[in-house]
Amino acid sequence: METAEQIKEVVRQKYGAIAEQPEADGCCGPTSCCGPEIDANVPIVMAQDYQQLSGYVADADLGLGCGLPTQFAQIKPGDTVVDLGSGAGNDCFVARAETGETGRVIGLDMTPAMIDRARKNTKALGYANVEFVYGDIEDMPLPENLADVVVSNCVMNLVPDKEKAFAETFRILKPGGHFSISDIVLKGELPGSLQRDAEMYVGCVSGAVQKNAYLQLVQDAGFTNIQVQKEREITLPDSVLQNYLSADEIADYRQKDKGIYSVTVFAQKPVATAGETKPTAACCGPDCCN
Protein backbone atom coordinates (compact mmCIF):
# COMPACT_ATOMS: atom_id res chain seq x y z
CA MET A 1 0.00 0.00 0.00
CA GLU A 2 1.37 3.41 -0.98
CA THR A 3 2.40 5.85 1.74
CA ALA A 4 1.17 9.44 1.72
CA GLU A 5 4.51 10.64 0.35
CA GLN A 6 4.52 7.98 -2.37
CA ILE A 7 1.03 9.02 -3.44
CA LYS A 8 2.08 12.67 -3.55
CA GLU A 9 5.08 11.76 -5.69
CA VAL A 10 2.87 9.86 -8.14
CA VAL A 11 0.55 12.88 -8.35
CA ARG A 12 3.50 15.27 -8.76
CA GLN A 13 5.09 13.20 -11.54
CA LYS A 14 1.85 12.66 -13.47
CA TYR A 15 0.68 16.25 -13.31
CA GLY A 16 4.20 17.49 -13.96
CA ALA A 17 4.26 15.46 -17.18
CA ILE A 18 0.90 16.91 -18.20
CA ALA A 19 2.07 20.46 -17.50
CA GLU A 20 5.17 20.04 -19.65
CA GLN A 21 3.26 18.95 -22.76
CA PRO A 22 2.68 21.63 -25.42
CA GLU A 23 -1.01 20.78 -25.62
CA ALA A 24 -1.83 18.84 -22.49
CA ASP A 25 -4.86 16.59 -22.35
CA GLY A 26 -7.01 16.12 -19.32
CA CYS A 27 -8.17 13.00 -17.57
CA CYS A 28 -8.30 10.66 -19.39
CA GLY A 29 -6.98 11.30 -22.89
CA PRO A 30 -3.98 10.14 -24.93
CA THR A 31 -1.66 11.37 -22.18
CA SER A 32 -3.99 9.93 -19.62
CA CYS A 33 -3.63 10.75 -15.95
CA CYS A 34 -5.43 7.46 -15.41
CA GLY A 35 -2.66 5.30 -16.85
CA PRO A 36 -1.39 4.48 -20.35
CA GLU A 37 -3.29 1.19 -20.60
CA ILE A 38 -6.71 2.86 -20.72
CA ASP A 39 -8.32 3.29 -24.13
CA ALA A 40 -7.92 6.94 -25.09
CA ASN A 41 -11.03 6.68 -27.27
CA VAL A 42 -13.24 6.07 -24.25
CA PRO A 43 -12.52 8.98 -21.90
CA ILE A 44 -13.80 9.44 -18.40
CA VAL A 45 -15.81 12.65 -18.61
CA MET A 46 -14.90 14.58 -15.47
CA ALA A 47 -13.97 18.06 -16.67
CA GLN A 48 -16.66 20.61 -17.44
CA ASP A 49 -16.75 23.35 -20.06
CA TYR A 50 -15.32 26.66 -18.83
CA GLN A 51 -15.62 28.53 -22.12
CA GLN A 52 -18.78 30.41 -21.13
CA LEU A 53 -17.13 31.90 -18.03
CA SER A 54 -15.55 35.35 -18.04
CA GLY A 55 -11.78 35.26 -17.72
CA TYR A 56 -11.45 31.84 -19.35
CA VAL A 57 -7.98 31.26 -20.84
CA ALA A 58 -7.72 28.24 -23.15
CA ASP A 59 -3.96 27.84 -22.61
CA ALA A 60 -4.58 27.43 -18.88
CA ASP A 61 -7.34 24.83 -19.26
CA LEU A 62 -5.79 21.36 -19.08
CA GLY A 63 -9.12 19.61 -18.60
CA LEU A 64 -8.14 18.27 -15.17
CA GLY A 65 -11.10 19.49 -13.14
CA CYS A 66 -14.43 17.90 -12.29
CA GLY A 67 -16.61 20.99 -11.80
CA LEU A 68 -16.88 24.76 -12.07
CA PRO A 69 -16.21 25.98 -8.52
CA THR A 70 -15.58 29.59 -9.51
CA GLN A 71 -19.06 29.73 -11.03
CA PHE A 72 -20.54 29.06 -7.58
CA ALA A 73 -17.96 30.85 -5.41
CA GLN A 74 -19.79 34.20 -5.02
CA ILE A 75 -16.58 36.16 -5.60
CA LYS A 76 -16.98 39.93 -5.24
CA PRO A 77 -14.86 42.80 -6.59
CA GLY A 78 -11.83 43.37 -4.37
CA ASP A 79 -11.85 39.88 -2.82
CA THR A 80 -8.70 37.92 -2.10
CA VAL A 81 -9.14 34.47 -3.64
CA VAL A 82 -6.94 31.41 -3.11
CA ASP A 83 -7.11 28.47 -5.54
CA LEU A 84 -5.87 25.19 -4.06
CA GLY A 85 -4.19 22.98 -6.66
CA SER A 86 -4.17 25.78 -9.21
CA GLY A 87 -2.51 23.89 -12.08
CA ALA A 88 -1.91 26.08 -15.11
CA GLY A 89 -4.08 28.86 -13.67
CA ASN A 90 -7.51 28.24 -15.18
CA ASP A 91 -9.62 28.90 -12.08
CA CYS A 92 -7.33 31.73 -11.01
CA PHE A 93 -7.95 33.62 -14.23
CA VAL A 94 -11.71 33.08 -13.97
CA ALA A 95 -11.57 34.28 -10.35
CA ARG A 96 -9.57 37.33 -11.44
CA ALA A 97 -12.39 38.31 -13.81
CA GLU A 98 -14.71 38.33 -10.78
CA THR A 99 -12.47 40.03 -8.21
CA GLY A 100 -11.15 42.58 -10.72
CA GLU A 101 -8.04 44.70 -10.60
CA THR A 102 -8.68 45.69 -6.98
CA GLY A 103 -8.65 42.08 -5.81
CA ARG A 104 -5.91 39.52 -5.41
CA VAL A 105 -5.72 35.91 -6.64
CA ILE A 106 -3.23 33.36 -5.33
CA GLY A 107 -2.77 29.90 -6.81
CA LEU A 108 -1.15 27.16 -4.71
CA ASP A 109 0.25 24.00 -6.29
CA MET A 110 2.77 21.32 -5.30
CA THR A 111 3.93 20.58 -8.87
CA PRO A 112 6.81 22.83 -9.99
CA ALA A 113 6.01 22.38 -13.68
CA MET A 114 2.43 23.55 -13.09
CA ILE A 115 3.67 26.63 -11.21
CA ASP A 116 6.03 27.43 -14.10
CA ARG A 117 3.26 27.05 -16.67
CA ALA A 118 0.84 29.17 -14.65
CA ARG A 119 3.41 31.95 -14.21
CA LYS A 120 4.09 31.99 -17.95
CA ASN A 121 0.37 32.29 -18.62
CA THR A 122 0.11 35.14 -16.10
CA LYS A 123 3.02 36.99 -17.66
CA ALA A 124 1.47 36.63 -21.13
CA LEU A 125 -1.81 38.05 -19.80
CA GLY A 126 -0.08 40.93 -18.00
CA TYR A 127 -1.92 40.39 -14.71
CA ALA A 128 -0.24 42.12 -11.78
CA ASN A 129 -2.64 40.80 -9.12
CA VAL A 130 -2.40 37.06 -9.84
CA GLU A 131 0.43 35.04 -8.29
CA PHE A 132 1.36 31.40 -7.92
CA VAL A 133 2.96 29.80 -4.89
CA TYR A 134 4.63 26.41 -4.57
CA GLY A 135 3.35 24.49 -1.57
CA ASP A 136 1.45 21.60 -0.01
CA ILE A 137 -2.26 21.92 0.77
CA GLU A 138 -1.70 20.05 4.03
CA ASP A 139 0.81 22.70 5.15
CA MET A 140 0.14 25.88 3.19
CA PRO A 141 2.86 28.56 3.08
CA LEU A 142 0.16 31.22 3.47
CA PRO A 143 -0.81 33.39 6.45
CA GLU A 144 -3.98 32.86 8.43
CA ASN A 145 -7.08 34.97 7.76
CA LEU A 146 -5.84 35.77 4.25
CA ALA A 147 -8.65 34.80 1.88
CA ASP A 148 -12.19 35.98 1.41
CA VAL A 149 -12.83 32.99 -0.85
CA VAL A 150 -11.08 29.65 -1.43
CA VAL A 151 -11.76 27.60 -4.55
CA SER A 152 -10.43 24.22 -5.65
CA ASN A 153 -11.21 21.89 -8.54
CA CYS A 154 -10.79 18.12 -8.21
CA VAL A 155 -7.77 18.40 -5.92
CA MET A 156 -8.78 17.68 -2.32
CA ASN A 157 -9.50 14.06 -3.26
CA LEU A 158 -5.83 13.71 -4.23
CA VAL A 159 -4.65 14.86 -0.79
CA PRO A 160 -3.82 11.95 1.55
CA ASP A 161 -4.61 13.84 4.79
CA LYS A 162 -7.88 15.58 4.02
CA GLU A 163 -8.43 16.49 7.68
CA LYS A 164 -5.27 18.60 7.66
CA ALA A 165 -6.15 20.06 4.27
CA PHE A 166 -9.53 21.31 5.46
CA ALA A 167 -7.99 22.57 8.71
CA GLU A 168 -5.50 24.58 6.64
CA THR A 169 -8.32 25.87 4.44
CA PHE A 170 -10.12 27.02 7.58
CA ARG A 171 -6.93 28.71 8.85
CA ILE A 172 -6.26 30.79 5.72
CA LEU A 173 -9.87 31.97 5.36
CA LYS A 174 -10.92 35.21 7.00
CA PRO A 175 -13.72 34.93 9.58
CA GLY A 176 -16.89 35.10 7.53
CA GLY A 177 -15.06 33.89 4.41
CA HIS A 178 -16.13 30.83 2.48
CA PHE A 179 -15.01 28.17 0.04
CA SER A 180 -16.50 26.55 -3.06
CA ILE A 181 -14.77 23.28 -3.87
CA SER A 182 -15.49 20.82 -6.67
CA ASP A 183 -14.36 17.30 -5.93
CA ILE A 184 -14.92 13.59 -6.47
CA VAL A 185 -16.80 11.60 -3.81
CA LEU A 186 -18.18 8.09 -3.58
CA LYS A 187 -21.52 6.54 -2.77
CA GLY A 188 -21.13 2.93 -1.68
CA GLU A 189 -17.80 1.13 -1.40
CA LEU A 190 -15.50 0.91 -4.40
CA PRO A 191 -13.88 -2.47 -5.08
CA GLY A 192 -10.47 -2.71 -3.41
CA SER A 193 -8.48 -2.85 -6.65
CA LEU A 194 -9.89 0.53 -7.69
CA GLN A 195 -9.38 1.99 -4.23
CA ARG A 196 -5.71 0.94 -4.03
CA ASP A 197 -4.39 1.65 -7.50
CA ALA A 198 -2.06 4.66 -7.60
CA GLU A 199 -2.73 5.31 -11.30
CA MET A 200 -6.44 5.60 -10.61
CA TYR A 201 -5.54 7.81 -7.66
CA VAL A 202 -4.21 10.38 -10.10
CA GLY A 203 -7.33 9.76 -12.16
CA CYS A 204 -9.35 11.35 -9.35
CA VAL A 205 -11.05 8.13 -8.27
CA SER A 206 -9.06 6.09 -5.77
CA GLY A 207 -8.34 9.06 -3.51
CA ALA A 208 -12.02 9.86 -3.14
CA VAL A 209 -13.96 9.21 0.07
CA GLN A 210 -17.60 8.63 0.79
CA LYS A 211 -19.80 11.70 0.33
CA ASN A 212 -20.99 11.60 3.94
CA ALA A 213 -17.41 11.28 5.22
CA TYR A 214 -16.28 14.17 3.01
CA LEU A 215 -18.98 16.48 4.34
CA GLN A 216 -18.19 15.36 7.88
CA LEU A 217 -14.56 16.40 7.37
CA VAL A 218 -15.78 19.85 6.37
CA GLN A 219 -18.00 20.05 9.43
CA ASP A 220 -15.28 18.77 11.77
CA ALA A 221 -12.90 21.48 10.51
CA GLY A 222 -15.31 24.06 11.96
CA PHE A 223 -17.15 25.20 8.83
CA THR A 224 -20.82 26.17 8.88
CA ASN A 225 -23.57 26.68 6.29
CA ILE A 226 -22.39 23.58 4.41
CA GLN A 227 -24.20 23.16 1.09
CA VAL A 228 -23.88 20.83 -1.87
CA GLN A 229 -24.19 23.33 -4.71
CA LYS A 230 -24.06 20.78 -7.54
CA GLU A 231 -23.84 17.01 -7.92
CA ARG A 232 -23.47 14.78 -10.97
CA GLU A 233 -22.55 11.15 -11.53
CA ILE A 234 -19.25 10.21 -13.18
CA THR A 235 -19.58 7.20 -15.46
CA LEU A 236 -16.65 4.80 -15.70
CA PRO A 237 -16.98 2.79 -18.93
CA ASP A 238 -16.38 -0.97 -18.91
CA SER A 239 -13.20 -0.44 -20.94
CA VAL A 240 -11.76 1.35 -17.89
CA LEU A 241 -13.22 -0.92 -15.22
CA GLN A 242 -11.95 -4.09 -16.89
CA ASN A 243 -8.40 -2.96 -16.16
CA TYR A 244 -9.18 -3.34 -12.47
CA LEU A 245 -12.19 -5.62 -12.05
CA SER A 246 -13.48 -9.01 -13.16
CA ALA A 247 -16.77 -9.28 -15.04
CA ASP A 248 -18.58 -10.22 -11.83
CA GLU A 249 -17.00 -7.29 -9.98
CA ILE A 250 -18.08 -4.91 -12.75
CA ALA A 251 -21.65 -6.21 -12.49
CA ASP A 252 -21.57 -5.65 -8.72
CA TYR A 253 -20.10 -2.17 -9.19
CA ARG A 254 -23.00 -1.22 -11.46
CA GLN A 255 -25.46 -1.66 -8.61
CA LYS A 256 -27.54 1.45 -7.96
CA ASP A 257 -26.17 1.95 -4.46
CA LYS A 258 -22.65 2.51 -5.76
CA GLY A 259 -21.12 5.28 -7.82
CA ILE A 260 -18.60 8.06 -8.31
CA TYR A 261 -19.89 11.64 -8.18
CA SER A 262 -18.64 15.14 -8.80
CA VAL A 263 -19.87 17.51 -6.11
CA THR A 264 -19.38 21.23 -5.60
CA VAL A 265 -19.46 22.02 -1.88
CA PHE A 266 -19.86 25.46 -0.28
CA ALA A 267 -19.04 26.21 3.36
CA GLN A 268 -18.29 29.25 5.52
CA LYS A 269 -15.81 30.02 8.27
CA PRO A 270 -17.89 31.47 11.11
CA VAL A 271 -17.22 34.90 12.55
CA ALA A 272 -15.86 34.16 16.03
CA THR A 273 -16.54 36.50 18.93
CA ALA A 274 -13.82 37.52 21.38
CA GLY A 275 -12.53 34.54 23.34
CA GLU A 276 -14.55 32.06 21.33
CA THR A 277 -12.87 28.82 20.29
CA LYS A 278 -13.45 27.08 16.97
CA PRO A 279 -17.07 25.95 16.99
CA THR A 280 -18.49 22.55 16.39
CA ALA A 281 -20.51 23.21 13.26
CA ALA A 282 -24.04 21.97 12.97
CA CYS A 283 -25.07 20.23 9.79
CA CYS A 284 -26.64 22.67 7.38
CA GLY A 285 -29.63 20.66 6.26
CA PRO A 286 -30.77 17.64 4.27
CA ASP A 287 -28.15 17.85 1.51
CA CYS A 288 -25.03 17.91 3.63
CA CYS A 289 -25.80 14.85 5.75
CA ASN A 290 -27.31 12.50 3.19
Q: Is residue 95 part of a domain?
A: yes
For 126, the domain range is: 4-270+280-289
Domain count within the chain: 1
d(CA 11, CA 111): 8
Average confidence score pLDDT of the chain:
80
Across 139-153, 170-184, 206-220, least confident range: 206-220
* Greatest mean pLDDT range, 34-38, 68-72, 137-141, 282-286: 137-141
Per-residue pLDDT for 127 more than 90? Answer: yes
Q: What is the pLDDT of residue 101?
A: 94
Q: Would you call 134 helix, strand, or coil by DSSP?
A: strand
Q: Is residue 131 part of a domain?
A: yes
Per-residue pLDDT for 55 more than 90? Answer: no
Alpha-helical segments (H) within the chain: 4-19, 69-72, 90-99, 112-125, 162-172, 192-196, 198-202, 211-220, 238-241, 247-253, 286-289
Contacts for 185 with CB less than 8 Å, ≥ 6 apart: 157, 208, 209, 210, 211, 214, 260, 261, 263
d(CA 119, CA 109): 12
Mean predicted confidence (pLDDT) in 225-249? 87
Mean predicted confidence (pLDDT) in 91-114? 95
CATH number, domain containing residue 187: 3.40.50.150
Instruction: Quick: pLDDT tens for 238-278.
Output: 888 888 888 888 888 887 777 888 999 999 999 974 444 44
Q: What is the pLDDT of residue 116?
A: 93
Per-residue pLDDT for 281 more than 50? Answer: no
* Per-residue confidence band for 43, with pLDDT thresholds at 50, 70 and 90: very low
Instruction: Quick: pLDDT tens for 240-250.
Output: 888 888 888 88
Name the residue type at position 214. Answer: Y
Which phi and psi angles does 246 have, rounded to 5°? Answer: -75, 170
d(CA 206, CA 217): 18
On the 0-12 / 13-18 / 19+ scale of CB atoms within 10 A, 49 is exposed
Q: Is residue 275 part of a domain?
A: no
* Per-residue confidence band for 2, with pLDDT thresholds at 50, 70 and 90: low
